[in-house]
């Protein structure tokens, strides 16, 4: 395993960000290759600890000559966002200078050729420089995993329509609870930018059947535990074995995916009707019926009629809920996977 430290020049004199990158060379030119990154939003740590738990497995496989396809791994893919702090709280989702989400506005290449990306000699802000660098590291790999997390949620995947249901084996191997497949534009998120160049070339060259591109949502921001990290690492390892990056006869082939799978049009972002304190009746992973109470908002504490109830708009599966317990009017409370399209169905990205 080779370690290199990539440097990203900052926007002011004397500021340089460092980003360790690990590479393992594969023994077969025909085997699929894989790229794995975590913490694109700076402070999303479940993917970081999953990679930490994965690395010993990869070193063991390398030592035993079982790495067939090359791997590139970036455990913390956004040193800029990770260092944006206010009063000890990391503000890693948006670049403070541009106010752009770090998972938006990636370059969309006309073909899978990293020479099309700007080099360090081009004058551009640090967040754009980071995005170009991450694509330079990832483009060309058959498997691209972008590890994130939600507020509070189950483990789930966002999968492009072009790769579903062919990626059902990956969802099963990773042991996730749900898959949301999507089409259209996502504001040039990393997963869109990773797949886009392959969709611009002839299908026989793109070889979409062997491609894996997904945003992985590993539960919630506080779900940073040794046991879940180990389970997530086992899931990633199983995917790499199933897709031929690693040889390991001890790992069984994944069975059918038994979780929830739905198009993004079935997502209900259930908003709060008013400001107040949230009393949840449901948690991620619960199944609900139309009309079931999801939460109560304490709008006016102690007053008669000071509580407002929020009900499920349709039957569905609770994917996520907010981690805070204070809400403003119109803030999303619950992300529900409905059995039918939402009345405000959307395509592409769900939220900024």
Domain extents for the chain?
2-258, 265-338
Task: Give the Cα separation of 275 and 299 in Å (integer).
Answer: 6
Q: Pull the structure tokens for residue 42.
A: 């700076």
| DSSP state letters, 232-244 | HHHHHHHHHHHTT
In this model, does residue 347 exceed pLDDT 90?
no
C-alpha 25: how far from its chain's center?
25
* Full-model pTM: 0.97
Task: Pick the closest to residue 241 from 75, 50, 112, 54 (CA basis).
Answer: 54
Confidence of residue 349 (pLDDT cuts 50, 70, 90): low
Task: Give the Cα separation of 191 and 177 in Å (integer).
Answer: 20
Q: Pull the structure tokens for residue 321.
A: 């809920």
pLDDT per position as a tens digit, 54-108? 999 999 999 999 999 999 999 999 999 999 998 888 999 999 999 999 999 999 9
Confidence of residue 28 (pLDDT cuts 50, 70, 90): very high
Average pLDDT, integer, range 195-212: 96
- At residue 344, the pLDDT reads 82
pLDDT per position as a tens digit, 259-317? 999 999 999 999 999 999 999 999 999 999 999 999 999 999 999 999 999 999 999 99
- At residue 345, the pLDDT reads 78
In this model, does residue 352 exceed pLDDT 60?
no
Among the four given CATH numbers 3.40.1010.10, 3.40.50.2000, 3.40.50.720, 3.40.630.10, the one describing domain 2-258: 3.40.630.10
Scanning the structure block, which residue is given the tokens 């139309």? Answer: 290
Cα end-to-end span (Å), the chain: 36
- At residue 24, the pLDDT reads 98
In this model, does residue 149 exceed pLDDT 80?
yes
Average pLDDT, integer, range 198-208: 95
Check: CATH 2.40.50.100 for 265-338?
yes
Residue 69, SS3? coil
């Amino acid at each position: 395993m080779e370690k290199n430290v990539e440097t990203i020049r900052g926007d002011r004199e004397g500021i340089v960000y460092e980003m360790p990158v690990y590479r393992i060379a594969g023994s077969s030119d025909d085997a699929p290759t894989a790229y794995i990154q975590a913490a694109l939003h700076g402070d999303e740590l479940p993917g970081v600890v999953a990679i930490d738990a994965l690395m010993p497995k990869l070193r063991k496989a390398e030592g035993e000559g079982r790495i067939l396809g090359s791997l590139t791994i970036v455990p913390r893919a956004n040193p800029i966002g990770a260092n944006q702090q206010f009063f000890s709280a990391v503000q890693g989702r948006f670049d403070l200078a541009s106010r752009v989400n770090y998972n938006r506005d990636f370059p969309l290449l006309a073909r899978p050729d990293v020479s099309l990306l700007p080099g360090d000699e081009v004058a551009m802000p640090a967040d754009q420089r980071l995005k170009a660098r991450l694509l330079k590291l990832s483009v060309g790999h058959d498997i691209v995993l972008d590890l994130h997390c939600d507020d509070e949620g189950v483990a789930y995947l966002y999968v492009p329509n072009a790769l579903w249901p062919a990626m059902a084996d990956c969802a099963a191997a990773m042991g996730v609870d749900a898959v949301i497949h999507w089409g259209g534009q996502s504001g040039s998120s990393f997963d869109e930018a990773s797949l886009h160049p392959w969709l611009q070339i002839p299908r026989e060259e793109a070889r979409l059947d062997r491609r894996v591109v997904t945003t992985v949502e590993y539960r919630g921001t506080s779900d940073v535990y040794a046991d879940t990290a180990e389970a997530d690492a086992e899931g990633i390892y199983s995917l790499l074995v199933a897709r031929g990056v690693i040889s390991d006869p001890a790992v069984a082939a994944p069975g059918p995916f038994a979780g929830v799978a739905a198009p993004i049009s079935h997502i209900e972002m259930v908003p709060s009707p008013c400001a107040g304190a949230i009393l949840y009746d449901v948690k991620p992973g619960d199944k609900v019926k139309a009309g079931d109470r999801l939460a109560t908002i304490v709008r006016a504490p102690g007053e008669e009629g000071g509580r407002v109830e929020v009900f499920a708009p349709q039957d569905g599966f609770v994917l996520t809920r907010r981690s805070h317990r204070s809400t403003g009017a119109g803030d999303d409370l619950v992300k529900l996977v409905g059995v039918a399209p939402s009345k405000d169905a959307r395509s592409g990205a769900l939220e900024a």
